[in-house]
Chain A
Amino acid sequence: MSSDSVKLLLIDDDVELCELLIEYLATEGYDVKAVHDGESGVLSALSGEYQLVLLDVTLPKLNGFDVLKKIRQTSDIPVLMLTARGDDVDRIIGLEFGADDYLPKPYNHRELVARIKAIMRRGRPQATDSNPRTLSIDDITLNLANREATIHGEVLELTATEFMVLKALIEKAGELISRDELTQIALNRRLTLYDRAIDMHVSNVRKKIGTRADGSARIKTVRGAGYFYIRP
């Protein structure tokens, strides 16, 4: 583990899950330490040796929201909440208490990594590279560095998979991308006979970006073949 790798604190009482997460996030280049109860979680989070906290809601001794409150009293370390409860109420409470983001269980590991990256990159000055770190079409801008999409300058709430789908469509604007190809890019798997997952993702992206100002569609289906982004 290199010394300059990002150090994460994982507060979760599910020991087995912690082991898996430590192993998996290590392959992504993160150095994770796990604690299994709220009190030691607060202590570790405030020790200053971590750059981000992954916090589970259901904890012994002190539940996740209490832990978050305690952390926020003295520190603004980024916190990503993990929870089995997909209720909107929890979500609102979590974000109100000052969580930076929220991920319901069972989370997709790719989604988790994407969120961690996004939080880590947030608020950092953009490195002005020669290679373009943004992708734009119409009024949509994709920031490839922190994986943030904006439309009319407003942030689009996209999942990691949706971001990949939109990125693929915009990169090849005006050309057909087959369902197979999109599945491979966004879901990292081959399309099988009854696999409609990619259609759902494209549909969700389409819902989120809406139509152009003049009401015309942005994404078109090519019957039975695939999708393309209509060039303005």
Chain B
Amino acid sequence: MHKMLVWPFRSLFWKLFLWFWLTMVSMMVALVVAVAITFDPADFLSERRALFRELEVASRQVERMAAGWSTSLSIRQLPGSYYYLFAPDGEPVGQPVVPAEVQFAYRKTHDRREPVITFRSGVVAVGPRKIWIDRTPFDLYLTKEMPRLVHWRVKKVFVQQWHLVIIALGVSFLLSIMLARYLVVPIRQLQGTSRRLAQGDLAARVAQVVRERRDELGEFGRDFNHMAEQLESLINDKERLLRDVSHELRSPLTRLQLSLALARRKSPDAESEHGRIEREIERLDQMIGEIIRFSRIQNGVTDLAWEPVPLHALIEGIVDDADFEAQAQDKSVVTTELLDIEINGIKDWLGSAIENMVRNAIRFTPQDSRVEVALKKHKRYAIVTVRDFGPGIPEGALDSLFEPFFRVDDTRGKENDGFGLGTSIAMGAVKNHGGTITARNVHPGLEVTICLPLNHKVVA
């Protein structure tokens, strides 16, 4: 099974990861903001200092301006900061409207000697700072609105503590990746296993990593394996039945042959009937042999070894023999092109697949015509084509040509007794090599193409 390390963006992995990460990041941001909102600045040394310093700077400016004193107070304001000057009688100077919070702060703190920080309904007020103007003590208050304060605080966090922010982002990123992987990897595993099952690898099972989990995914993995086992035993039972039936049929067939031999001795005058019986027995025997071969090739059951197979030599031999056989029927088999190609495979299976196609072609090509066999290379495939000059088969039947016991309605000449299992066995053999087999009409005749990948990986 191939493990995808790079997941496509629409995959569950990315969705999970992004949502987790987003959640974590927004949680952190929310936390920072909440802290920024709810923290009393008075509890915060650095903030207190900053506020007092701001008040100090502002008061100096006011004192400096006292020479050209006017009722309007223009101080270079920091964003979000407001300044209020209270006269000794408590009246605000030059400010028609004083927010209630500032008034509250003034009432509460104007008799203090040192500035204090009051925090009420989102407004921070710092004061009083006594300023002497014309020997009159004025009280300067600095206020900051909460949103501004929060903004300022948050900004401060990001500007001054940026490495912490990056660490937090990094950690949350890693945690999200881990969590997403933790959930997605087993799903991927299950998916890969189900795909292998679908491709006919009945022994495919979910890995132990998934099975040992004690959550729903682990349960799913165990259930999945149970299902796969059931499936395997069902299919194997079916195949075994097919094989057993075939084997069982051979016993009565053997007895039949012997009875025939005895019958022949006893009544020599029924020779033609006996000959017919013998041929039918042979046919039955061949069919049973084919069923057994078919079932084994479908399951990929073999004790034959995978080895480098020189295709050109294999085809040369097949064509040579086939030509010899075809000559008896006034037909010939030739190679039109034969490249030097070697692939990894099971020689017997490849040979029987190609041989079967050649034999069918001989059957359907007319007398005095030939069957053409070629071996070419296309991209990373070896291409074997077998072409006859017969009537071809109806377009609609092309796809079913490789199904077991396929029959064309008598369009391919008198000698059509169907294809039996030969084409299906050929297809099974080619599929076991990771290849494909197709047929098309080439007017005149039929061309069968076998595509075999040059470097097929054998799944043990």
Which residues of A come within 8 Å of B, CB atoms?
Answer: 14, 16-17, 20-21, 23-24, 27, 84-89, 105-110, 179, 189-190, 192, 194-195, 197, 199-200, 202-203, 206-207, 219, 221, 223-224, 226-227
Contacts and interface: CB of A to CB of B under 8 A. Distances in A.
A51 to B, nearest CB: 21
29 contacts: A17-B254, A17-B255, A17-B258, A20-B255, A20-B258, A21-B258, A84-B250, A85-B247, A86-B292, A87-B303, A88-B303, A89-B303, A105-B254, A106-B250, A106-B251, A109-B257, A109-B258, A179-B328, A189-B271, A189-B278, A197-B279, A202-B328, A203-B321, A203-B324, A206-B324, A207-B321, A221-B324, A223-B328, A226-B328
A195 B256 CA distance: 20
Contact of A199 (B251, B255, B328): B328
A223 B327 CA distance: 5
A85 B259 CA distance: 22
Interface of B: 247, 250-251, 253-259, 261-262, 265, 271-272, 274-275, 278-279, 281-282, 285, 289, 292, 303, 321, 324-325, 327-330, 415
Given A189-B278, A199-B328, A207-B321, A107 B254 contact: yes
Interface of B is mostly: helix
Contacts, number: 83
A98 B289 CA distance: 27
Given A105-B254, A107-B254, A86 B289 contact: yes
Given A110-B261, A223-B330, 8 more contacts: A17-B254, A20-B255, A86-B292, A106-B250, A106-B285, A189-B274, A190-B271, A203-B324
Contacts of A109: 257-258, 261
A200 B250 contact: no
Contacts of A219: 324
B251 A84 contact: yes
A157 B405 CA distance: 33
Closest CB pairs A-B (n = 8): A221-B327, A106-B254, A20-B258, A189-B275, A106-B253, A109-B261, A105-B250, A224-B330
Nearest to B322: A203
Contacts of A85: 247
B251 A203 contact: no
Contacts of A226: 328
Contact of B279 (A107, A110, A179, A195): A195
